[in-house]
Amino acid sequence: MAKIEEQKAMETGKKLNGIIDCDVHPHPKSYQVIQSYMSEPWKSRFNAQTGLRGMYDNPIHVNRLDSVTPDGGYPCSDPEFTRKQLLDEYGINYAILLPRAFVSRYSNPDFAAAIAAAFNDWLAADWLDNNNDDGRYKGSITVAPQNPQAAAREIERWAGHPHFVQVMMDSGSTAPYGQQQFHPIYEACEKHGLPIAFHPGTEGVGINQSHVAGYPTTYMEWHTCLPLSAQAHLVSFITEGVFEKFPRLKLVMVEGGSAWLPSLLWRLDSEWKPLREEVPWVKKRPSEYIKEHVRLTSQPIESPDDPKHLLMNFEMMDAKNILMFSTDYPHWDFDSPTRSFPKMPEDLKRRIFFENAKELYNLE
Amino acid sequence: MKKHIVATVEEIPAGEKKFISVNGKSICVFNVNGEFYALRNSCPHQGAELCKGSVGGMTVYNGSSSEGFDVSFVKKGEVLRCPWHGWEFDIKTGKSIVDPKRCLVKSYDVTVEESDVEMINAQVETYLVTIKSNYVLVHV
């Protein structure tokens, strides 16, 4: 498959550089498109005028200003233009697509599940089954955590689809995701060999708890603190024994930062030594579960004044095996594949930019 | 350093901009409240086409009082925000707002000069026409 794709890319004069972009955000041309996949009563209740959160919206701009499509459409709403501006521009082999439906914010679990399903129908129709001759677009199955059984059924509906490669939930939630009530989702993921990915964006929005005490005042405060949400879910996964219960499950923390990982690994291991008694299902050092089961996407990669410090951090977190490159296209805090990382040894770069994601998603 | 005629004054009204290419360099000429400035179209951060960003003003902090923080909106039309990460640059100097000494974009001198430009009118018969006008010149 890889050879065929490389061949195709070469025929059209496009070079692949060994990059997998693990966080790309396709957007419907309009919300009426999503609505068209819904049935009543949800169809007429869905607010097709706006997909905005209504709070914690970026006051400057939420999308790269140069990512508006040539016909004036919403950024990342045209698979052809995204292929040109992102995949071909940088020689990206595959883009892992994570639509932002923000479904975890809704109070009604059935409504949330209906919106998630409509986003999946749209993603399959517009990005995966069509406009994807080269197979470079790989999708995420959006599920709503409010009703884990319904989420598991949604996973069943798409499992086996050649281009859906993972399941995705908003990390804005009503409870830490390691808890028992969410396990039907992970059971379905494990059964079908699909990693579960958490992506921020609904923290403190709708029915969800905030990731800090109370509500952050500004977008900057809210956005800076998003890694706290990722860390809390990760700690929950460990202490609740999720990986012991689902030994083949993989977890992807998307856009939640990564520089915090070394200190979290150290702290988890230190806490476990005296407190193992409380969590006897945690049979190994927490850091061992994380190294085996968890992957982090890179964007927004931290950029210390001295790039050497980032490389030291990579070593401490074992970035060579755990970090996966991402751009977050078309969002404002896009990480350029050529400009966001310091110079790295070639084998480390290859692991982060390609091999780690290739292995996780079984890509060729 | 050579002067390059890049536009007539009328071509770039206040608040507008024009992209030009000089010696293979992408440069943008801005009209800020009647004065012209030119910047290299590349962000020093991650290489975005900087001048495709938004132009506006900026909010600054003046101090606090019993009524809270006192802020004002200044440099209206003088601040360019990168289309990617939103870093702010002063169009008049090319210097970034947050780190003006170390983070800046190349700026070029711009002058407005009256000059004669000879054009060939080749529609029906050929005449030599001289247009006297004010031109915007970028010094690269």
Residue A173 within any structural domain of the chain: yes
Residues of B in Cβ contact (< 8 Å) with A89: none
Mutation for testing the A interface, residue in B85, B89, B103 having most A CBs under 10 Å: B85
Mutation for testing the A interface, residue in B84, B88, B89, B102 having most A CBs under 10 Å: B84
Domain boundaries, chain B: 3-139
Mutation for testing the B interface, residue in A57, A66, A68, A335 having most B CBs under 10 Å: A66
Residue A2 within any structural domain of the chain: no
What's the ipTM? Answer: 0.85
Domain extent, residue A283, equals 19-46+55-360
Question: Which amino acid does the sequence have at A257?
Answer: G
The answer to whether the CB atoms of B49 and A339 lie below 8 A apart is no
pLDDT per position as a tens digit, A61-112: 999 999 999 999 999 999 999 999 999 999 999 999 999 999 999 999 999 9
Residues of B in Cβ contact (< 8 Å) with A60: 54, 81, 86
The answer to whether the CB atoms of A336 and B47 lie below 8 A apart is yes
CB pairs under 8 A between A and B: 37
CATH code (residue A287): 3.20.20.140
Of the CA atoms within 13 Å of residue B111, those in its CB half-sphere come to 8
Token pair belonging to B15: 């608040």
Residue A233 within any structural domain of the chain: yes
pLDDT average, residue stretch A242-254:
98
**pLDDT tier, B1 (very low <50, low <70, confident <90, very high otherwise):** confident
How far does B19 lie from chain A, in Å, by closest CA? 14
The predicted structure's pLDDT at residue B95: 98
- Tell me whether A307 touches chain B (CB under 8 Å): no
**pLDDT tier, A133 (very low <50, low <70, confident <90, very high otherwise):** very high
Q: Is A284 helix (H, G, I), strand (E, B) or coil?
A: coil
How far does B132 lie from chain A, in Å, by closest CA? 37
**pLDDT tier, A51 (very low <50, low <70, confident <90, very high otherwise):** low
pTM, rounded to two decimals:
0.91
Question: d(Cα A296, Cα A319) in Å, to the nearest integer?
Answer: 9
**pLDDT tier, B115 (very low <50, low <70, confident <90, very high otherwise):** confident
Residue A229 within any structural domain of the chain: yes
- Tell me whether A220 touches chain B (CB under 8 Å): no
Residue A256 within any structural domain of the chain: yes
Residues of A in Cβ contact (< 8 Å) with B49: 66
Q: Taking a contact as any Cβ pair under 8 Å apart, which residues of chain A between 17 and 76 contact chain B?
A: 60-61, 64-66
- Tell me whether A333 touches chain B (CB under 8 Å): yes
The answer to whether the CB atoms of A65 and B46 lie below 8 A apart is no
Residues of B in Cβ contact (< 8 Å) with A66: 48-49, 52, 83-84
Question: d(Cα A173, Cα A148) in Å, to the nearest integer?
Answer: 13
Q: Least CB-CB distance to A61: which of B45, B47, B54?
A: B54
Closest Cα to residue A294, out of A325, A229, A249, A236?
A: A249
Question: d(Cα A364, Cα A247) in Å, to the nearest integer?
Answer: 24
Q: Taking a contact as any Cβ pair under 8 Å apart, which residues of chain A between 334 and 353 contact chain B?
A: 334-336, 338-340
Q: Least CB-CB distance to B83: which of A66, A333, A336?
A: A66
pLDDT per position as a tens digit, A345-357: 999 999 999 999 9
Residue A236 within any structural domain of the chain: yes
The answer to whether the CB atoms of B52 and A65 lie below 8 A apart is yes
List of E strands, A110-215? 137-142, 164-170, 196-199
CATH of domain B3-139: 2.102.10.10
**pLDDT tier, B117 (very low <50, low <70, confident <90, very high otherwise):** low
Residues of B in Cβ contact (< 8 Å) with A336: 46-48
Number of domains in chain A: 1
On the question of pLDDT at A8 being above 60, the answer is no
**pLDDT tier, A4 (very low <50, low <70, confident <90, very high otherwise):** low
On the question of pLDDT at A303 being above 80, the answer is yes
How far does B26 lie from chain A, in Å, by closest CA? 16
pLDDT average, residue stretch B13-35:
97
Q: Residue A229's CB: how many other CB atoms inside 10 A?
A: 29
pLDDT per position as a tens digit, A180-224: 999 999 999 999 999 999 999 999 999 999 999 999 999 999 999
The predicted structure's pLDDT at residue B131: 64
Closest Cα to residue B31, out of B43, B17, B44?
A: B17
The answer to whether the CB atoms of A334 and B81 lie below 8 A apart is no
Q: Is A63 helix (H, G, I), strand (E, B) or coil?
A: strand
- Tell me whether B88 touches chain A (CB under 8 Å): no
- Tell me whether B52 touches chain A (CB under 8 Å): yes
The predicted structure's pLDDT at residue A5: 57
Residues of A in Cβ contact (< 8 Å) with B53: 65
The predicted structure's pLDDT at residue A274: 97
Separation in Å, CA A241 to CA A32, A169, A179, A189, A286: 41, 19, 9, 16, 10
Q: Check if the beta carbon of residue B101 is closer than 8 Å to that of residue B110.
A: no
**pLDDT tier, A53 (very low <50, low <70, confident <90, very high otherwise):** confident
The predicted structure's pLDDT at residue A120: 98
Separation in Å, CA B24 to CA A189, B28, B40, B51: 52, 13, 11, 16
pLDDT per position as a tens digit, B92-114: 999 999 999 999 999 999 999 98
The predicted structure's pLDDT at residue A111: 96
pLDDT average, residue stretch A249-263:
98
SS3 annotation, B12-59 = CCCCCEEEEEECCEEEEEEEECCEEEEEECCCCCCCCCHHHCEEEEEE
Token pair belonging to A19: 């990059």
B38 phi and psi, to 5 degrees?
Answer: -130, 135
How far does B87 lie from chain A, in Å, by closest CA? 10
The answer to whether the CB atoms of B86 and A60 lie below 8 A apart is yes
The answer to whether the CB atoms of A60 and B48 lie below 8 A apart is no
pLDDT average, residue stretch B4-16:
95
- Tell me whether B84 touches chain A (CB under 8 Å): yes
Give the strand pairing for B68-81 and B88-90: antiparallel
Cβ neighbours for A236, distance < 8 A, ≥ 6 positions apart: A176, A177, A178, A179
A24 phi and psi, to 5 degrees?
Answer: -125, 140
Strand partners, A118: none
R_g over Cα of chain B: 19
On the question of pLDDT at A280 being above 60, the answer is yes
Strand partners, A253: A198, A296
The predicted structure's pLDDT at residue A1: 45
Bond into A59 cis (ω within 30): no
Closest Cα to residue A184, out of A172, A200, A169?
A: A169
**pLDDT tier, B119 (very low <50, low <70, confident <90, very high otherwise):** low
The predicted structure's pLDDT at residue B118: 58
Closest Cα to residue A66, out of B108, B38, B105, B81?
A: B81
**pLDDT tier, B133 (very low <50, low <70, confident <90, very high otherwise):** confident
Question: d(Cα A27, Cα A20) in Å, to the nearest integer?
Answer: 19
